Chain A
Amino acid sequence: MTAHPVLRLSGITKRFGTTLANDAISIDLAPGEVLALLGENGAGKTTLMSILFGHYTPDAGTVEVAGAQLPPGKPRAAIRAGVGMVHQHFSLAANLTVLDNVMTGTESLWQLKSSTSKARRELLSIAERFGLKVNPDTRVGDLSVGEQQRVEILKALYNDAKILILDEPTAVLTNIEAETLFATLRVMAQNGLSLIFISHKLNEVMAAADRVVVLRGGKVVAERLAAATSRAELAELMVGRRVARPVREAATSGPILLEAINLDVGRRLSGINFAVRAGETLGIIGVSGNGQTALGHLVSGLVQHSGGELRLFDHAVNQTSVRALIEAGIGRIPEDRNAEGAIGEMAIWENAVLERIWEFSRHGLVDRRAARQFAAQIIEGFDVRGGTPDSRTRLLSGGNMQKLILGRNLQSRPRILIAAQPTRGLDEGAIAAVHTRILEARRAGTGVLLISEDLDEVVSLADRIQAIVKGRLSPPVPAEQADARMLGLMMAGDWPQDGTLAHAS
């Protein structure tokens, strides 16, 4: 960089408990430059930007804007220095007008009258200059998501932002909206603004950025000019390494147990196709928030499909219910074990039988003895430590709670197991235990649908892999052919339309 940087982050380090979210990160930003911060979830991108904007105080390191150091932990100081942030979750008030939202906090509170007409003129002129069309008097709640984002950007520009940070700006946008946004970013850069946008999507990074900084595990692992790199290189840099070869043994799969054909769930899943076979694991990878929850709920009977066909054991299913699916032999590990998997304040035995309470009732009363016995079997068989059938479930560690949930499902030999983020937040030992159980179930002929963000996990457990992106599923690829590059591309939503992924590059 020959130009004097408008922004310089040096040696930023931030620790949350024992995890090192940012490890001595240094980045420069030149005037009029568009910088992409690329990295997987948990790579430390958002933490870094929160430090820059003053939401967090770093443990070490400094932020300099145009040569002057910013006081740590002071958003107001960041705003005044000309740093504007467009959050992934907008900080707008839906019931107020666009102008209200933009004007909040820009005038002295004790002024007797808001200079509304002056503000409206100024807003319109900014909107004009950057091609951000908006009606100042519309209620924000009546705007589309893309337009709301425009308001967020206008808010920053109205505050005289010189540096604009966008946190996963396309996460909530349609493709067309995203293209419009990138055109806007170009105009802003030409007007002398410097931009940083955070992303994990390779195509938009390549399309919109001048320079790309890749973060992994809280560290800067690479820095490339967009013109001098390729998607494939970035994919490998982001994921880190060729993903390790699977540890599962080869197996021959049986008949299709669960199948989705062109299936829609409202607007959350559209036209998805997948098939789970007996004795086989189908892995669904993807960055969270792309429809995994809807998919998990669909096959658990919590939501109904609105189009296409869902086939269970070779029969079309129209109306599903939780009870019908459990009775049909579907075991479920929900993605949020504390919210959906177990009730912390209730006893272990109660949580063990709650899903199939009808099997443990007699004459309308709970058969406590049978239930306690069942819980004891799970504790014994699945090595649940830290509790008896009568202790409160809240007292179990995450891993032991997960073993309890696994146990209550696998004890009755389900024909299909739905495992959503089964090892999220678990330590190494517990992960190994959960993986072992899932592989055992597969060996015994259960069809497993594994939904996970953890690439290593999917590659080591799954026979075939599909990626979920914005509610759509990629065609499946055999795990043997999956390398980091291809998985990175799949997760970025980059797959050919003809259904083949074998020679994607």
Chain B
Amino acid sequence: MELLEIFASAGIWGAVLRIATPLIFGTLGALVCERAGVLNLGIEGIMTFGAMIGWLTVFSGGDLWVGLLAAAAFGALFGLLHAGMTVTLGLSQHVTGLGITLFASSLSYFIFRLVVPLASSPPTIEPFQPLVIPVLSTLPFFGDALFNQTAPTYLAILLAAILAYVLFRTPLGLAVRMTGENPHGAEAQGVNPIAIRIGAVMVGSALMAIGGAFLTLSAFNSFFPTMVQGRGWVCIALVVFASWRPGRALLGALLFALFDAYQLRLQAVLGKAVPYQLFLMVPYVLSIIALIVMARRARVPQALMQPYRRGER
């Protein structure tokens, strides 16, 4: 019963929150884009660039929060690039997104190498420290499990709530949802779907980049080019899993993180008997199963991936 005892340790729950944080940012970012009707496959590259630029800012003497802001700003810029091609020019969202992933990933490595020549071990920075919350952090078990995180993790969870509020309780959110469902209808009601889409893609991409920056500024303390490791693609799948709802996106990210944290510990328990690559597979296999169950009931934004051109139906 060693396999179940893993869940009884506080450590795994702390790890879940840590692993989930970049996924929460990334998923919410992709969700904002898709709610407005734009698929953003640039996510993998934008996260990589966010990780790099966040790290670089702090490495050159900036504050950790300035690092996060820099990541957000550059993320928004990549978002503007994506929106310019897919919204203004109406090009294929798939192709543009993949292009941005390749471009941003390569550019990250290029800039990194300009600053840091090949070294045996990459230079490090002083990352975010766990935020000590009076009383809560000292609770037995729960203190270690839930209240021993860095500030960006709490920010990610708060963000899910804020986004849910904006999407479902404000006129702006309604305009975004309408644009993702029927941009012609939005236009007929006096909403400018082009502006909404550009804005949503920029905000969404900024969130993705923050997710990437969490990796270098909190989870680790240095940058290496392959560190995003497909997290962006997981986020794209999590949006579907979440049926385009921020609350469920949070849940989905936590669930995936739980699988991941579990497999890491499973390696320690069973690692001698089974090749570790099999364990690496576990979260993905479970995600696919969860997707099959959830996604069939998902309500896709009706205008997702359809370029909007004024006057055309």
A104 to B311, Cβ gap below 8 A? Answer: no
Q: Chain A contacts of B175 at CB under 8 A? A: 104-105, 109
A238 to B188, CA, bound (A): 31
B75-83, B94-102, B176-184, B273-281: which lies at the A interface?
B176-184
B117 beta carbon closer than 8 Å to chain A:
no
Which of B181, B182, B186, B189 meets A155, CB within 8 Å? B189
B186 to A95, Cβ gap below 8 A? Answer: no
Q: Chain B contacts of A55 at CB under 8 A? A: 311
B169 to A113, Cβ gap below 8 A? Answer: yes
In whole Å, how far is A76's beta carbon from the nearest beta carbon of chain B? 5
B130 beta carbon closer than 8 Å to chain A:
no
Most buried by B among A79, A91, A104, A155: A104
In whole Å, how far is B199's beta carbon from the nearest beta carbon of chain A? 10
Which of B184, B188, B189, B302 meets A106, CB within 8 Å? B189
Q: Chain A contacts of B186 at CB under 8 A? A: 104-105
Which of A79, A93, A112, A113 meets B178, CB within 8 Å? A93
Contact of A92 with B182 at beta-carbon distance under 8 Å, contacts A105-B190, A109-B171, A114-B169 already known: yes
B272 beta carbon closer than 8 Å to chain A:
no
Q: Chain B contacts of A107 at CB under 8 A? A: 171
Most buried by B among A95, A103, A111: A95
Query: B184's closest neighbor in chain A, by CB?
Result: A91
B229 beta carbon closer than 8 Å to chain A:
no
Which of A87, A96, A113 meets B177, CB within 8 Å? A96
Which of B171, B182, B187 meets A75, CB within 8 Å? B187
Which of A85, A92, A111 meets B185, CB within 8 Å? A92
A103 to B182, Cβ gap below 8 A? Answer: no
Q: Chain B contacts of A105 at CB under 8 A? A: 175, 178, 186, 189-191
B185 to A101, Cβ gap below 8 A? Answer: yes
Q: Chain B contacts of A109 at CB under 8 A? A: 171-172, 175, 191
Which of B170, B171, B181, B188 meets A96, CB within 8 Å? B181
B302 to A94, Cβ gap below 8 A? Answer: yes
Interface string of B180-210 (1 = CB under 8 A from A): 0110111111110000000000000000000
In whole Å, how far is A371's beta carbon from the nearest beta carbon of chain B? 35
A100 beta carbon closer than 8 Å to chain B:
yes
A16 beta carbon closer than 8 Å to chain B:
no
B188 to A108, Cβ gap below 8 A? Answer: no
Contact of A95 with B171 at beta-carbon distance under 8 Å, contacts A75-B190, A106-B189 already known: no
B177 to A76, Cβ gap below 8 A? Answer: no
Q: Chain A contacts of B185 at CB under 8 A? A: 90-93, 101, 104
Query: A91's closest neighbor in chain B, by CB?
Result: B185
B313 to A89, Cβ gap below 8 A? Answer: yes
Which of B169, B170, B177, B190 meets A93, CB within 8 Å? B177
A422 to B178, CA, bound (A): 40
Residues of B130-179 contacting chain A, CB below 8 A: 169-172, 174-175, 177-178
Q: Chain B contacts of A90 at CB under 8 A? A: 185
Q: Chain A contacts of B174 at CB under 8 A? A: 96, 100, 103-104, 114
A422 to B300, CA, bound (A): 39
B211 beta carbon closer than 8 Å to chain A:
no
Interface size classification for chain B:
20 to 34
Which of B182, B190, B299, B302 meets A79, CB within 8 Å? B190
Interface size classification for chain A:
20 to 34
Contact of A93 with B302 at beta-carbon distance under 8 Å, contacts A101-B185, A105-B191, A106-B189 already known: yes
In whole Å, how far is A339's beta carbon from the nearest beta carbon of chain B? 16
A104 to B178, Cβ gap below 8 A? Answer: yes
Q: Chain B contacts of A75 at CB under 8 A? A: 187-188, 190
A155 to B182, CA, bound (A): 15
Query: B199's closest neighbor in chain A, by CB?
Result: A109
Q: Chain A contacts of B172 at CB under 8 A? A: 109-111
A24 to B217, CA, bound (A): 69
Which of A76, A85, A96, A101 meets B190, CB within 8 Å? A76
A155 to B169, CA, bound (A): 19
Residues of A144-172 contacting chain B, CB below 8 A: 155
Q: Chain A contacts of B311 at CB under 8 A? A: 55
In whole Å, how far is A365's beta carbon from the nearest beta carbon of chain B? 35
In whole Å, how far is B48's beta carbon from the nearest beta carbon of chain A? 33
A55 to B181, CA, bound (A): 21
Q: Chain A contacts of B26 at CB under 8 A? A: none
Q: Chain B contacts of A114 at CB under 8 A? A: 169-171, 174
Q: Chain B contacts of A111 at CB under 8 A? A: 170-172
Q: Chain A contacts of B177 at CB under 8 A? A: 93, 96, 100
Which of B170, B191, B301 meets A104, CB within 8 Å? B191
Q: Chain A contacts of B302 at CB under 8 A? A: 93-95
B189 to A112, Cβ gap below 8 A? Answer: no
Interface string of A207-233 (1 = CB under 8 A from B): 000000000000000000000000000
A111 to B169, CA, bound (A): 10
Query: B313's closest neighbor in chain A, by CB?
Result: A89
In whole Å, how far is B276's beta carbon from the nearest beta carbon of chain A? 43
B169 to A104, Cβ gap below 8 A? Answer: no
Q: Chain A contacts of B188 at CB under 8 A? A: 75, 85, 87, 91
A91 to B186, CA, bound (A): 8
A89 to B184, CA, bound (A): 11
A108 to B171, Cβ gap below 8 A? Answer: yes
Q: Chain B contacts of A116 at CB under 8 A? A: 169
A116 to B168, CA, bound (A): 10
Interface string of B50-83 (1 = CB under 8 A from A): 0000000000000000000000000000000000
Contact of A100 with B178 at beta-carbon distance under 8 Å, contacts A92-B185, A106-B189 already known: yes
In whole Å, how far is B185's beta carbon from the nearest beta carbon of chain A? 4
A107 to B174, CA, bound (A): 10
Q: Chain B contacts of A87 at CB under 8 A? A: 188
In whole Å, how far is A217's beta carbon from the nearest beta carbon of chain B? 24
In whole Å, how far is B243's beta carbon from the nearest beta carbon of chain A? 10
Q: Chain A contacts of B178 at CB under 8 A? A: 93, 96, 100-101, 104-105
In whole Å, how far is B126's beta carbon from the nearest beta carbon of chain A? 37
Most buried by A among B169, B177, B185: B185
A92 to B313, CA, bound (A): 13
A79 to B187, CA, bound (A): 12
In whole Å, how far is A220's beta carbon from the nearest beta carbon of chain B? 26
A5 to B163, CA, bound (A): 48
In whole Å, how far is B174's beta carbon from the nearest beta carbon of chain A? 6
In whole Å, how far is B229's beta carbon from the nearest beta carbon of chain A? 33
In whole Å, how far is A474's beta carbon from the nearest beta carbon of chain B? 31
A sample of 17 inter-chain contacts (CB < 8 A) reads A75-B190, A90-B185, A91-B188, A91-B189, A92-B182, A93-B181, A93-B182, A93-B302, A94-B302, A96-B177, A96-B178, A100-B178, A104-B175, A109-B175, A113-B169, A113-B170, A114-B171
List 12 additional contacts besides A103-B171, A114-B170; criterion CB under 8 Å.
A75-B187, A92-B182, A93-B181, A93-B182, A94-B182, A94-B302, A104-B175, A105-B190, A106-B171, A106-B189, A109-B171, A155-B189
Task: State the A residues within 8 Å of B (CB).
Answer: 55, 75-76, 79, 85, 87, 89-96, 100-101, 103-114, 116, 155
